[in-house]
């Protein structure tokens, strides 16, 4: 899918894969995030077979000018999970909206584990 919007210069179309790559970069800068993990068994198999799934743990779906993001992560042991998730959501929302000029409707974060 593609996120689409219009401005005074014309139409803007951004692929979901481009947004996922950007989310990956933004999220790795957040303190407490160790790594991304597949969110389901199906995603694990797809990732193992390397079918079109470059950004494990990140799913982006867009409808018109609204963006929906799902992120599955492992957080650092000893940090406040709630604080890390809230910081991740705020950072991703702000930076993706600034990057795309579109509205981030929902960011769902699934914490799959902790790691030292």
pLDDT in tens, 10-37: 888 888 889 999 999 999 999 999 998 8
Whole-angstrom Cα distance, residue 114 to residue 29?
A: 17
Rounded Cα gap, residues 67 and 37, in angstroms:
21
Residue 95 binned pLDDT confidence (cut-offs 50, 70, 90):
very high
Token reading at 48? 């193992």
Residues near 27 by beta carbon (within 8 Å), at least 6 away in sequence: 33, 36, 58, 71, 73, 88, 91, 92
3-state helix, strand, coil in the chain (%, to 5): 35, 40, 25
- In this prediction, residue 4 carries a pLDDT of 75
Instruction: Give the chain's mean pLDDT.
Output: 86
Domain boundaries, the chain: 2-115
Q: Going by CATH, does the domain composed of 2-115 fall within 3.40.50.2300?
A: no
Is the pTM of the predicted complex or chain greater than 0.85? no
- Residue in the structure block whose two tokens are 């509205």: 103
């Amino acid at each position: 899918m593609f996120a689409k919007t219009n401005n005074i210069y014309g139409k803007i179309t951004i692929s979901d894969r481009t947004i996922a790559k950007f989310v990956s970069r933004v999220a790795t800068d957040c303190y407490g995030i160790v790594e991304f993990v597949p969110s389901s068994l199906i995603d694990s198999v797809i990732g193992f077979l390397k079918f079109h799934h470059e950004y494990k743990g990140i799913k982006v779906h867009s409808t018109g000018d609204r963006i929906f993001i799902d992120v599955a992560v492992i957080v650092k042991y000893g940090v406040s999970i709630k604080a890390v998730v809230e910081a991740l959501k705020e950072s991703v929302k702000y930076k993706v909206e600034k990057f795309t000029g579109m509205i981030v409707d929902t960011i769902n974060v699934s914490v799959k584990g902790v790691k030292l």
